[in-house]
Amino acid sequence: MKSHLARVITIERFILDQEELHPEATGELSNLLYDIALAAKIINSHVRMAGLADIIGSAGLINVQGEVVQKLDEFADATMQHALLRTGRVCLIGSEEDPDPIPTPPGQAAGKYVVLYDPLDGSSNIDVNVSIGTIFAVHKRLSPDGGPGVLSDCLQKGRDLVAAGYVIYGSSTMMVYTTGQGVHGFTYDPSIGEFLLSHPSITTPPQGRYYSVNESNFPRWEARVQGLVKCYKGLDCGFQPKNSRYIGSLVADFHRNLIAGGVFCYPADTKSPRGKLRLLYECAPLAMICEHAGGAATDGRQPILDVAPTELHQRSPLFIGSRDDVLLAQEMLAEPA
Ligand code: P6P
């Protein structure tokens, strides 16, 4: 029977094909992306078991599993560390779970990359079976090769990222990444343990169907933000009303808007004056992906990718998604208060 299947391309094959477009490439970034894909497979296997851990644990079959579930985000962090620190490809990693950057272990050569990540964002949603995600950002080190990485290697603008991506553990598990050559999505096939190319060259619609924001924060927003959200609702501005979709898990909200079109907002408010989300390993990598898919991302004053970081865990307001919807935010928030 003639197969109508398109050519099956694994993420490893795709990364290699992309590398061949760059004769100057050494293959180190390719190997780093493999390392992250492997970590994603391991994290995925534990996320998928999370719901069963109590049952298995109570049967005494896998006590460790139960412990893993209580601390699944710590497990994800440890998995990313094990996948990255002993490869000779990174000199430093920065994790949402750790107050300071983590250097390569003694005796391990320090590589030329820095990886910043949130190992399991939205982990508070695990117990209610809501999609969660891993987000990662890759910079080239600025400090001299061979020596230990330093904090300033982490504090680089998103515009200088060499790669960014996320894994969404949803109805299926997907890995989406960019190295600046388009945004590509891979769906995990557990029967063969491979991420298969399912969404080549993702582009996001210039205007979105959805707006995503935690409306309970409305009283704490400044008036311009309140006005912007009313516009998204089709009030006061004559714009087509958007549907509200808010999952409360950044990667899930971002991914839906990337594919279907939409804008996600986490503004600053009186409780979180610099916003809630983290610049280096949440806002910046998603902003790189979004811009390379034709979208945009701002903190309300400037593009997220142009923000100069000063702290590893600094927060930022975030408006990200379909280009026209984000540009409206930039226009309305730039107006005098
Ligand atoms: P709120 C999850 O805790 C998270 O960090 C993001 O994944 C999500 O977008 C945001 O917080 C939700 O925050 O205040 O609306 O519950």
Residue 204, domain member (yes or no): no
Separation between Cα atoms, residue 214 and residue 276, nearest integer Å? 12
The pLDDT value given to residue 69: 40
Q: Are residues 189 and 314 in the same domain?
A: no
Separation between Cα atoms, residue 231 and residue 218, nearest integer Å? 14
The pLDDT value given to residue 68: 42
SS3 296: strand
Has residue 137 got a pLDDT over 60?
Answer: yes
Does residue 250 have its Cβ closer than 6 Å to ligand 1?
Answer: yes
Separation between Cα atoms, residue 243 and residue 263, nearest integer Å? 11
Two structure tokens written together for 254: 């971002």
Does residue 123 have its Cβ closer than 6 Å to ligand 1?
Answer: no
Separation between Cα atoms, residue 51 and residue 63, nearest integer Å? 14
Does residue 121 have its Cβ closer than 6 Å to ligand 1?
Answer: yes
The pLDDT value given to residue 239: 85
Q: Are residues 130 and 233 in the same domain?
A: no
What does the pLDDT average to over 239-259? 97
- The number of residues making up the chain comes to 337
Q: Are residues 241 and 175 in the same domain?
A: no
| Angle formed by the axes of helices 72-84 and 28-58, nearest 10° | 150
Residues contacting residue 58 through CB under 8 Å, at least 6 positions apart:
none
C-alpha 140 to ligand 1 mean position (Å): 29
Q: How many CA atoms lie within 13 A of 177 on its CB side?
A: 31
Residue identifier of the C-alpha nearest atom 13 of ligand 1: 248
Q: Are residues 187 and 227 in the same domain?
A: no
Residues contacting residue 64 through CB under 8 Å, at least 6 positions apart:
none
* 154-211 per-position pLDDT tens digit: 999 999 999 999 999 999 999 999 999 999 999 999 999 999 999 999 999 999 999 9
Name the residue of 249, 257, 316, 318 to mutate for ligand 1: max ligand atoms within 8 A of Cβ.
249
- Residues forming a β-bridge with 95: 117
What does the pLDDT average to over 1-29? 80
Average pLDDT, whole number, for the chain? 91
- Tell the residue number behind the tokens 């290697």, with chain if given: 153
Separation between Cα atoms, residue 94 and residue 161, nearest integer Å? 14
User: At which of 178, 199, 220 does a domain end?
Assistant: 199
* 107-122 per-position pLDDT tens digit: 999 999 999 999 999 8
Q: Are residues 317 and 274 in the same domain?
A: yes
**Type of residue found at 61:** L
Residue 234, domain member (yes or no): yes
The pLDDT value given to residue 53: 61
The whole domain housing 193 covers 4-199
Q: Are residues 244 and 132 in the same domain?
A: no
**Type of residue found at 33:** L
Q: Are residues 222 and 195 in the same domain?
A: no
Q: Is the distance from CB of 257 to CB of 264 less than 8 angstroms?
A: yes
Residue 115, domain member (yes or no): yes
The pLDDT value given to residue 128: 86
Separation between Cα atoms, residue 276 and residue 278, nearest integer Å? 7
The total domain count for the chain is: 2
Does residue 249 have its Cβ closer than 6 Å to ligand 1?
Answer: yes
Has residue 138 got a pLDDT over 70?
Answer: yes
Q: Are residues 129 and 11 in the same domain?
A: yes
Backbone angles phi, psi at 205, to 5 degrees: -60, 145
